Structure 1
Amino acid sequence: MADDTSNARGTAGFLLEMGMLKRAKRSGWWIAGVKDPETIAEHSFRVALIASVLAMMEGADPAKAALLGLWHDTQETRVGDIPHIGRRYLEAASNEQVTADQVSAAHPAVQEGAQRIVDEYENGDSLEVIVAREADKLECLLQAVEYREQGCANVQPWIDSSLAKLKTASAQALAEAALNMTSVEWQKTYLR
């Protein structure tokens, strides 16, 4: 029983730690001049959704792609959201090591599952991994388009770099479509 209680506390502790993602802002947007950027959790939610959509379009497993996308930034509770320019000056632990530490007191099945998911995202090459990584880039592009619409003129480098990293035809098509519409154009779909 003590082991069950310990595993439950360790697992609950991990889940409470993930609440940090709801409060932690994506810091790269501050560089672009965004005063109140999205949180890491807000980013991760749309990454998971985009990953599932891209997987559907590319013939991959949408549930697996979404799972990979959902977990891709969970390490940022411990290391923060280091902007790309900041990574040049820092040597951080690998995402796999951070995840191992995060779940070290969790239920053994949670430890194994979390480590497997993060390892696959970081090192895998399946179609699900590819679309999950592309979803991360596409979400950044979509967010930049929204911030640009709100008057932040310095987001073009985020759009350009995200667009350049997209490899699948589906992600490229969605990016091009998003770049040629407004963020509220979706409201017109009910009129069709």
Structure 2
Amino acid sequence: MKLNGIINYLYEVGLLKHQKRTGWWRMMVKDPESVAEHSHRAAVIGYILASLEEGVNAERVAVLCLFHDTSETRTGDLSWLNQRYIAGAKEGERKAILEQTAQLPQVIAQKVVALSEEFNSRVSREAQLAKDADLLECLLQCREYAMQGYVKAQSWADMCYAGLRTETAQNLARECLIADPGQWFETLQENPSSGSTDATN
């Protein structure tokens, strides 16, 4: 097997660590999260959402989330506002996926393309949960930006909530909207030695 194509693909996907999520600039966020950061937490959320459901493949939901934005190494991160003025944006995204995965062995390329098509079609329960995980990650990021003083963040979080389609995601999102994003650390500060035999570590 020739590995050059796989190596090229892996380096290309690495660009997602530097590709900023451009929608946040409209909230005046100076240094917004990267696409890779977004995709990572979306995958974690997707796995957890799916694990709360009966008969859903949690691993597949996580993988759908991991791959859902890989075309953005070539298209850039196009927010809904950008897409409003770019004819054929979705077709361009599909073309990017096809050309991007052409570097891979055919059997792997077919799987990655299938993941993209499944995510975009929302036909499967897994794809529906993956899309909700995508929105829920955005909602959490809004809450974190709100703590940093970005005044529009809460209204953006409300828009993300309105887009959720599964009851499981809606229930989780309602709690996220009222929770303090820093509470996990404050709990540790209240009892720093909990779970450790050596409080100095």
**Aligned residue number for residue 164 of structure 2:** 166
Residue identity in the other structure for 1:184: G
- Number of corresponding residues: 187
Residues in 2 aligned to 1:95 and 1:52: alpha-carbon distance in whole angstroms: 25
Aligned pair partner of 1:53 in 40, 43, 48? 48
Residue identity in the other structure for 2:120: E
More deviation, 170-179/63-72:
170-179
More deviation, 102-111/16-25:
102-111
Give the C-alpha shift of residue 155 in structure 1. Answer: 1.8
Structure 2 residue runs without a partner (length 5+) = 195-201
Contact 1:11/1:110 (<8 A) preserved: no
Contact 2:24/2:32 (<8 A) preserved: yes
Give the C-alpha shift of residue 120 in structure 1. Answer: 1.2
**Aligned residue number for residue 87 of structure 1:** 83
Q: Are 1:153 and 2:151 matched, yes or no?
A: yes
Percent of aligned positions that are identical: 37
Contact 1:32/1:155 (<8 A) preserved: yes
SS of residue matched to 2:173:
helix
Aligned pair partner of 2:74 in 78, 85, 103? 78
SS of residue matched to 1:121:
helix
Contact 2:75/2:93 (<8 A) preserved: no
Give the C-alpha shift of residue 157 in structure 1. Answer: 3.5
Residues in 2 aligned to 1:36 and 1:67: alpha-carbon distance in whole angstroms: 27
Residue identity in the other structure for 2:173: A
SS of residue matched to 1:82:
coil
SS of residue matched to 2:85:
coil
Give the C-alpha shift of residue 139 in structure 1. Answer: 0.5
Residues in 1 aligned to 2:107 and 2:11: alpha-carbon distance in whole angstroms: 18
Residues in 1 aligned to 2:102 and 2:76: alpha-carbon distance in whole angstroms: 19
| TM alignment of 1:1-192, pairs within 5 A | 4-5=1-2, 8-59=3-54, 60-91=56-87, 92=89, 93-187=91-185, 188=187
Residue identity in the other structure for 2:66: L
Residues in 2 aligned to 1:88 and 1:64: alpha-carbon distance in whole angstroms: 30
Give the C-alpha shift of residue 9 in structure 1. Answer: 0.9
Structure 1 residue runs without a partner (length 5+) = none
SS of residue matched to 1:183:
coil
Give the C-alpha shift of residue 124 in structure 1. Answer: 4.1
CA-to-partner distance for each residue in 1:77-114, whole Å, 9 max, x for gaps? 00011121111111223433221110112111221111
Residues in 2 aligned to 1:54 and 1:90: alpha-carbon distance in whole angstroms: 33
Residue identity in the other structure for 2:82: G
Note the aligned Cα RMSD (angstroms).
Answer: 1.7
Contact 1:47/1:135 (<8 A) preserved: yes
**TM-score if structure 2 supplies the norm length?**
0.87
Q: Computing the radius of gyration over CA atoms, which structure comes out larger, 1 or 2?
A: 2
Contact 1:95/1:118 (<8 A) preserved: no
More deviation, 102-111/63-72:
102-111
Contact 1:11/1:103 (<8 A) preserved: no
